[in-house]
């Protein structure tokens, strides 16, 4: 196979940039979600915590990944009758932040979360929300565990379901 001369230059440039600037080779973590009855669940997770259930996500030391939560065919033919609507984080399982119990400033900043509610701003930075995908930037500034809650709303807006496991950051 023969590679065109200009293609060679692009390949060399990409390899050089990736080697010199590791942040350009950003990791991504994919979590596929599913719906069973009135429950949201993790179907697959490509960064599973070694000693935990499939819904625990581990972010390796030094990584600043984009986390993708996907609900395939949300509100489409053959898909679930739910769409993704929100994600929030907390420092303790099922103990959501409040003005009396806010998130630490570095944790809120790592996820673009409101420190008083834990709700992540899905229009801030590199975060995004679509019916079938949440894209979340995790800056992973320190070693800590947060508990996350993904919320899905029925297509007609009449009900909500949630999933609330953990993310383990191992820091920079």
Report whether pLDDT(24) > 50.
Answer: no
Average pLDDT score, the chain:
85
Averaged pLDDT for residues 95-104: 96
Two tokens, residue 45 = 């997770």
Decide: pTM greater than 0.85: no
Distance of CA 12 to the CA centre of its chain: 31
Residue with tokens 């010199």: 20
Q: What tens digit of pLDDT does each residue of 125-160 get?
A: 899 999 999 999 999 999 999 999 999 999 999 999
Is residue 169 within 8 Å of 147, Cβ to Cβ?
no
Is residue 166 within 8 Å of 147, Cβ to Cβ?
yes
Q: Which domains does the chain have, with CATH numbers?
A: 27-170 (2.60.40.420)
Q: How far apart are CA 153 and CA 40, in angstroms?
A: 11
Range in 20-24, 26-30, 156-160 with the lowest mean pLDDT: 20-24
Residues 161, 165, 171, 172, CA torsion sign: negative
């Amino acid at each position: 196979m023969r590679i065109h001369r200009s293609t060679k230059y692009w390949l060399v440039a990409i390899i050089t940039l990736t080697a010199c600037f590791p942040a350009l080779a950003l990791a991504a973590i994919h979590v596929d979600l599913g719906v069973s009855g009135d429950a949201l669940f993790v179907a697959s997770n490509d960064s599973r915590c070694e000693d935990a259930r499939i819904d625990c996500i581990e972010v390796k030391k030094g990584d600043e990944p984009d986390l993708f939560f996907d609900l395939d065919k949300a509100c489409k033919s053959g898909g679930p009758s739910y769409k993704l609507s929100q994600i929030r984080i907390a420092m303790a399982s099922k103990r959501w932040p409040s003005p009396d119990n806010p998130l630490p400033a570095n944790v809120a900043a790592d996820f673009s979360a409101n420190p008083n509610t834990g709700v992540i701003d899905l229009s801030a930075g590199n975060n995004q929300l679509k019916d079938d995908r949440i894209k979340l930037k995790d800056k992973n500034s320190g070693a800590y565990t947060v508990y996350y809650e993904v919320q899905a709303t029925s297509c007609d807006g009449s009900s909500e379901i949630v999933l609330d496991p953990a993310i383990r950051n191992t820091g920079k």
